[in-house]
Amino acid sequence: MCHAIPAQIVAIDEQADTATVALGEVKKDVSLALVQDVQLGDYVLIHVGYALNKISTEEAERTLQLFAEMAELDVVQP
């Protein structure tokens, strides 16, 4: 709940101002309209189809680790 998920940019469509982001094995397209200066390999927080802001690799990894703990605790419902 109330989460924006870190995901890594794996492709950018400059014309459409969108990116393909990867979260584990899942890939999805998001709008880059609300962020500036993002590049391939950057991590961004994504929420309802938008990249919200860029975060460091360390911060993304720490956050993803916490989400992994959530999954282990079974608080994420199937």
Q: Interface residues with another protein (CB under 8 A)? A: 1-5, 23, 31, 33-36, 45, 47-48, 50, 52-53, 59, 62-63, 66-67, 69-71, 73, 75-78
Give 33's Cβ-side CA count (13 Å radius): 8
Least CB distance from residue 11 to another protein, whole Å? Answer: 19
When the beta carbons of 2 and 39 are compared against another protein, the nearer one is: 2
Q: What residue has token string 């994420």?
A: 76
Per-residue tokens: 47: 């929420």
Contact 32, 17 (CB under 8 A): yes
Least CB distance from residue 22 to another protein, whole Å? Answer: 13
